[in-house]
Amino acid sequence: MGIDENWSPKPKKKGKTSWIFTAGWNAVDDNSNPFKKLFAVKKVWSLPFYPSQASAEIIGQEGVTFGLMFTFNRYKAGKEINGGINPSKGLFFAWDLFAKYHFNEHIKMSKQYDPYFLLGAGFTLRFVAPNNTAFTANTGFGMNYWFSSKWGMNIQSLAQFGIKKRFPRNGANYLHHSIGFTYIIDRTSRKNRSFIKPRYKWIHNVNKVGERKRY
């Protein structure tokens, strides 16, 4: 197993598609206060303890990827929702399309760190009044940390704005955080690529002529 120093979302090879898959956990902050109680996890965040989010994205050109994300969550009674205390349980679903711009395609940095900017749009369904349904415009930042040329960890935060009256400041807005594991199916050519110097001895094995081998 090794980490490809030169890997980043690159132009896909003609006739072949490369994919990035992510699955993990999400938290929804829906108290209608974008700059207050950001880390009030117990009072505000809706945070399932089981995996509740998945996405798939295609590697495009010049460090851009395009994808689809599905989110499931559950509102609990007693949480702050839209400036009040939620009186009952309710389900939450979201479907989002997005485009990501990966900075390490054009910035000189270790490819192990893969920060990106995201823009997108989606549809949110809440079984909690008053904003049961809303189309959203989304923006945010995230980062992949690659353990190897295949596996990594993802962390991401989004601001999702409800496309309703008083846009962009209305009760349909919410913050959406997530963390998960990422797997890449990279079908681009790997000829003449190098690997980063080993951080741990078990990552690489060096033969007699000095060529690095992956386990």
Q: Would you say 123 and 133 are in contact if contact means Cβ atoms under 8 Å apart?
A: yes
For the chain, domain boundaries: 19-214
Class of domain 19-214: mainly beta
Q: What is the pLDDT confidence band of residue 38, given thresholds at 50, 70 and 90?
A: low
Instruction: Report, as an integer, the average pLDDT of 155-183.
Output: 90
Strand partners of residue 92: 73, 126
Q: Which residue has the higher pLDDT, 128 or 192?
A: 128
Q: Is residue 64 scored above 90 in pLDDT? A: yes
Strands (E), 16-63: 19-29, 53-59
Buried b (16+ CB within 10 A) or exposed e, 132-170: eebebbbebebbbebebbbebebebbbbbbbebeeeeeb
**Helix/strand/coil for 103:** helix
pLDDT digits (tens, 9 = 90+) for 93-120: 999 999 999 998 788 888 789 999 999 9
- Residue 36, classed as helix, strand or coil, is coil
Say what the pTM is: 0.77
For the stretch 109-167, pLDDT in tens is: 887 899 999 999 999 999 886 788 999 999 999 999 999 989 999 999 999 999 988 88
In this structure, are residues 150 and 124 in contact, taking their beta carbons and an 8 Å threshold?
no
Average pLDDT, the chain: 80
Amino acid in position 128: V
pLDDT of amino acid 166: 81
Residue pair 48/26 in contact by the 8 Å Cβ criterion: yes
At residue 214, the pLDDT reads: 41
Dist CA 25 CA 66 (whole Å): 20
Q: pLDDT digit string (tens) for 11-25?
A: 445 557 899 999 999
Span 57-75, average pLDDT: 94
Q: CA 181, CA 209: separation in Å to the nearest integer?
A: 36
